[in-house]
Every structure is written in C-alpha cells, then in structure tokens.
Amino acid sequence: MRILMRLALIFFLALFLIPRAFAGDNDKSNDKKDQPKNSDAAATAPAATDDAAPTTKPAPAAKPATPAKPAPAPQRASTGDDSESVPKWLPMPALDGNPGLFTLETGDLLPAGAVDLSIGVNKFSRMPGSITVLQTVPSFGLGFNRWISVFFQMNAAEHIHVDQPTQLSLSDTTLFNGQYRNTIYRSILPGTGIAPAYVEDYPFASHNGGGVGELDLGFKIGLLSEKRGKPFSLSIRNDFFIPTQSGLSDLLKDEVQYGRFNYGIGVEASKTILHNSMVITFNWSYRFRPDESFATIDLLNLPGPPIAPTPIAPAVLKLADEMGVGAGMLVFPNKRFQIITEYTGLIYVGRGIQNTTFGGRDPVDTTTGVRLYPVRRVALDIGYRYSMSLLNHQDRNGFIVKLAGAYWPEKLREPDVLSASCSADKSAVVEGSNAGVQTTATATDAWGHPLMYTWTANGGKITNGSSPYARWDSEGVAPGTYTLSLRVDDGAGKTASCSAPVRVDPKPKPPAPTMSCPAERSSVMAGERVQVTANVDDRSGTALKYSWQANGGQLVNASESSPTVQFDTSGLAPGTYTVTGRVENGAGGAADCSTSVTVQQPPAPPTASKISECSFPLGSARVDNVCKRVLDDAAVRLQSDPKAKVVLVGFADPKEPSASKLADRRANESKKYLGGKQGVEAARIDVRSSSGIAGAGKENRRVEVVWVPDGATY
C-alpha cells in the first residue's frame, strides 16, 4: 500500500512539474526569437519619417483611421515538428508507457520533448491452477525526437491468487512427487517421468502471494506516421526485461517474475479511418526467453514445511518463447469520451519443459471499456477483461483501470488557414450533348490536416464527388447556368468553399426540312382520282405533321400523319388545279410544296352504228358468198375488239310469204355462220327482226350488221 501511495505522489508531481519546465524553455526560446523582430521594426520607423520630410505640399488632414480587426489568436503546435499539431485531447499511453489503448499500442511515437505517465491496475487469468494475477503497473514515456521515443514500465506490485494448487507442480500438494527429469519441477502426479504443470509466463507460481515484478526498459523507432502524411503509422519496439530478483528462493517466494534478463521486439501499426472517428491498431511482439540453470536446489523444501535438505544436481528452467498478437480500435479519438476494444493473444513458441495445461494453453483475452478525460492532459481508462480461451478456469473475469497523463510541448504559431479554389475544364456545353465537365479543386491547409472534399451542383449529376477531381454530367439538363460548388473540411473545425460556373447553351436548331409532292398523273379526266405523295427531307429526327389543301375538288384520306392524299376531280370543270402540302417537324421547322393536275373533259359515250348488210333473193334465207364476205369482215373486227358486239337485224318484204318468220330466219342464218364458221361467241351476237317498208321491194330483203362498241347500247 505504501508503494502505491508513493507512486501516485510521484505521478502527480511529475504531471505538473515537467510541463512547467518545458514551458519555461519554450518561453525563453520564443523571447529570443521575438527580439530581432522588435529591433528591426524599431529601426525601420525613423527611416519612414525621413522619407516623408521633403514633401513640398502639406498633406491633407487624415481621416480618423478605422480600428483594425484584431488578428486571429495564435494557435499552439508541437515544437518538435510543425506538421504534427497538438490534439485537443492528448493521446494517452497504454500500460507500458507508449501511446495506445489498454495494453495495445498505436504505431505513433511521442513527439520530441513530450512525456506521459500512467499507473494502472490489471487483473487477468492464467492456467493451470486457475490463477489470477493482479498487477500494479506504473510507466513512463519520453519523446526523444521525431523518430525515437523511450519508455519504462515496472510491475511494482503483483499478486497471484491460486484457486487450484493441485494443478501446479511447485505447490505443497506435490511435495512428495519425484523431480521431473533435470528440471526445477516435480511431476504433477506421483511417479517417474510424469510431466509437470506450471504457468508458462509465471513459471514459479504455486501459492497465494506476490511481490515486485520485473522492469521493462525500451525504445521505439517510428518508421511511418500519419501525422507526416503517410497512409498509416508504423513503428518497431525494442524491450529489455530486467529482473529485480534472481535467487531461486526469492523467485519461489514472490512467484511473479522469471529471474533472467531477456529481450523482446515488436511491431505496431495503426490507421485513422472513417473521417478521423476511429483508430485501428495491430500489434505483434516476440519475447526471447533463454534457459535458466540453478546450481543446487532442494525441491522438497521449496516451498513447504521444513524437511531434511536433499541436495540435487543442477536443475534447469527451459521456457517457450512468447509471441504476442493483438488488434484493437479506439472510437472517437478526438472526443472527451472514447470507447476502446481490444483482442490480445499470447502464443508460446518453441519447446519448453513439457507442460500439463489442464485446458487451453495459449491465453486469448478481450477487453472493452472507455477512456474519460476530466481535463485535456489527464484520462481515466476503465475496461472489462475476459479470458476467451481458458475454458476450464474458475474465474475468467478481469479488468484494467488506468490513470494517465501526458504533456506535449507547445509553441505559438500562426492560426490554421484553409483555402480552396475551383476550376472547370469547360465553361460551356451544348444541351443534349451529354458532355461531361471535369472539375479540379486546389486546397491548402496551413497545418497540413488531411482534407475531405464534397462537391454539389444545382443541376446535373456529380460523380466522384469526394475527390479533388470530380465530374459533372450534363445529361438531361436544360439550358442555363449551373454552379458546381465545393466544400473542403480539414476535420479540425475549418472549412472552405469555392465554386465554378458552367453554362449549358441551347441546342442549335437543325436546318428546315424540304418537301416536294408530285402527283402520280399530271392529267386526268373529270371524275377520276389522282394520288399525291409528299417527299420530305428532315434531319431533326422529330415527328412530322402534314396538312393538305386544293383549290377545287376534294382531298380524300388526308391526315396529319400521312404523307399521301388523293385528289378527287368529281364534278370539276376542265382546267388546271393546284394541290398544296405543308409539313412541320417537332423542332419548329416547316416546308411547303404544290403540284398541278389538269382535268380534261371526258369523250362522248360510244354509239352503235350499221357497218354493212347482206341481200337475199326473194323468199330465201340462205347466206350466199357475198353475204359470207360481209360477215367475215364483221368477224375480223370482233376479233380485234374483244369487248364489242354485233346486232344482226333481219328484214323481209311484206309481200313475201311469212315475212316475219323469213326475217328471223335470215338473221339467225347469219348468226349461225358467224358462230359456226368464224367461231364468234354466241353471246357477242344479238339477233333481231324487223318488217320491211311496203313498196321498197328488193331493199326489204336484207340483214343489217350493226356494230355495238363496249359501253354502247342498241
């Protein structure tokens, strides 16, 4: 208890005294830097007065000067490297004194001249024996320069509680078991050659007890740092483990250390993600543990009740090396309240003394908790620790409580200024071209913070809007002027904005369409129809609308969507008529055309006419050769005009016997000749009879051949 009180007193004294010492040094250096500036200013003032003296004209009375706005208050920055600004809430150390979480470290180093102090209590579980370890760990870290920092850790007080001593070879429950080979351990069971049981990182644990642990003195080399613009932070750690006790009796009594100097190396990597809202870290370490040999040993008396000493030949302690792995995250690293989660594992590598572990061998723990800042330089860590792999342990619960403070030397420097400018590779695009505009942002932050970009536009679409180089797409955008705006955020409370205008010009109108509308015939008879077709050359690619007019007649089948129309000339007088067409496209273009159609008077309808006749003797109906030649001529004419007909009209003199019957016979005999001898279709021959005229004599004895063209009647 006294040790804890002394350590706490030293911690708080160092926390308040060391920063004042560094602050004093910084103030002195700042005073020295300011002296030349003040002397230069004083020397310049008289010169200005001398230059103004030769002025011949008196200067007009000056107006009262407007009070100048006060300059922004200077900000504080790291003295070691101006690119590393001092966070509002200083990063706190892990248990070992380096910046980190609970037990895991980040890849960052302390800046030059920075110090941190911590004191923590750590409870965790180990097997076999179901032991729990309670550590009190003060630590100290110092930034040597931007590449190296040193640290010191001490297990000032460690207590071991053993729940199952029967599982440990050094407990008094195994006093009468034989020694296992040439080791310091007794067999866990009576007999020869039975393997012992021991805790590999606490090899002397056997009963409830404890004492002062070993010292860890080391240094850390920074290879990469996010604060210097690298993608992540990376460092190499070197540990020198120094025992505080080495005698076997003391080691068996206190149980909390190995008793031999050894060396370890580690690698830490970390990265800030999600817009500075989370830090993730990965740790790897390896601790080399050399073999230990004891010249004489009395296994029967240590520990346990006094028994007659039994000298035994030198015994060895051969332990496996330790490889540590871990991953963790720190949420809200720039806030007063932070959340910490980490997973750690300890893997025993190599062949140590054969061990009976009574369950899992390699411990894997998870720790989750919070970090609270009462002030910006002091934080309290509280975490719950749980053993995930030691399933047979009777108490797998643990905790970490740590009070830490840090001091980073600071100096005044100019305020953080964030500026941004925007440009576009095109000032104008054409409507409908779907052309893209490439925008470029140039932003600078005086303190070198990582910048976040956000592009917006009052129309169109922005792609890759979180980069300095964005693209604006004009697809579907109406003509007008659009503003491409940028907001730059440095993640530390500073923002800047700029914009670039882009004009969208209206799409140029296509050339007007051309149109012609020829008629299928230029001359028709009255009453006929003629088709007029529009031939249009249009490059707008839009729908066309037609309209038609005529100065006479009627337009049939005229519609807005049809390029053809029929001109009906029914009822028109002979003459020339004009059909006019018009086409309009969707782009506002139009064209006209016209065509002329001549309407002619139709010819007179055909009429029947007598073309020849045959004469017959008195009282006879026989077709003689003369009549046959007449009928042959009629047959030839019928063959040349397939649509024409003939009418055969038979006559008889009233004085001839049976005059009417004789007239019929004469016409039928003529038809018979045309149909039989000449092959004229009967349907094309019409037979009629008529009475003769009294007193006409020979003229009454005949057959008239009447030609009836197509369309005529008789």
Question: Which pLDDT band, with edges at 50, 70 and 90, does 67 fall under?
Answer: very low
Please choose, from the candidates 280, 120, 289, 139, the residue with its C-alpha nearest in 3D space to the C-alpha of residue 217: 139
For residue 274, pLDDT beyond 60: yes
For residue 214, pLDDT beyond 70: yes
Quote the pLDDT of residue 696. Answer: 77
CA 71 to chain centre: 43
Please choose, from the candidates 389, 398, 337, the residue with its C-alpha nearest in 3D space to the C-alpha of residue 360: 389
Torsion of CA 201, 205, 209, 212, to 10 degrees: -40
CA distances from 703 to 287, 612, 631, 656 (A): 147, 9, 10, 15
Query: In sequence order, what DSSP letters do the residues of 296-343 get, joined into one string?
Result: -B-TTTSSSS------B--EEE---EEEEEEEEEEE-TTSSEEEEEEE
Quote the pLDDT of residue 412. Answer: 63
Quote the pLDDT of residue 558. Answer: 86
Each residue's pLDDT tens digit, 484-525? 999 999 988 889 999 999 999 988 877 889 999 999 988 988
Beta bridge partners of 131: 126, 162
Say what the pTM is: 0.52
Question: Which pLDDT band, with edges at 50, 70 and 90, does 296 fall under?
Answer: low
Domains of the chain: 80-412 (2.40.160.40), 419-505 (2.60.40.1080), 514-600 (2.60.40.1080), 609-708 (3.30.1330.60)
Contact in structure between 501 and 437 (CB atoms under 8 Å): no
- Give kind and range of the element (H or E) at residue 118: strand 115-126
Quote the pLDDT of residue 284. Answer: 97
Which tokens belong to 488?
């730059």
Contact in structure between 447 and 85 (CB atoms under 8 Å): yes
Residues 6+ apart with CB under 8 A from 445: 416, 417, 418, 451, 490, 494
Any idea which of 36-45, 152-161, 202-211 has the lowest mean pLDDT?
36-45
Each residue's pLDDT tens digit, 381-422? 999 999 999 999 999 999 999 999 999 987 666 788 899 999
Quote the pLDDT of residue 697. Answer: 77
**Whole-number Å distance between alpha carbons of 36 and 51:** 23
86/272: higher pLDDT: 272
For residue 227, pLDDT beyond 80: yes
Each residue's pLDDT tens digit, 522-539? 898 888 899 999 999 988
* Torsion sign, CA atoms 387, 393, 397, 401: negative
Percent of the chain with pLDDT over 70: 85
Quote the pLDDT of residue 34. Answer: 38
Mean confidence (pLDDT) of the chain: 83
Each residue's pLDDT tens digit, 317-335? 999 999 999 999 999 999 9
Question: Which pLDDT band, with edges at 50, 70 and 90, does 434 fall under?
Answer: confident
For residue 312, pLDDT beyond 90: no
For residue 69, pLDDT beyond 50: no
Quote the pLDDT of residue 271. Answer: 96
**Whole-number Å distance between alpha carbons of 498 and 455:** 10
CA 699 to chain centre: 115
For residue 198, pLDDT beyond 90: yes
Beta bridge partners of 480: 504
Residue 28: helix, strand or coil by DSSP?
helix
For residue 622, pLDDT beyond 50: yes
Each residue's pLDDT tens digit, 112-156? 999 999 999 999 999 999 999 999 999 999 999 989 999 999 999
Quote the pLDDT of residue 3. Answer: 47
For residue 11, pLDDT beyond 60: no
Quote the pLDDT of residue 446. Answer: 86
For residue 231, pLDDT beyond 80: yes
Residues 6+ apart with CB under 8 A from 574: 526, 599, 600, 601
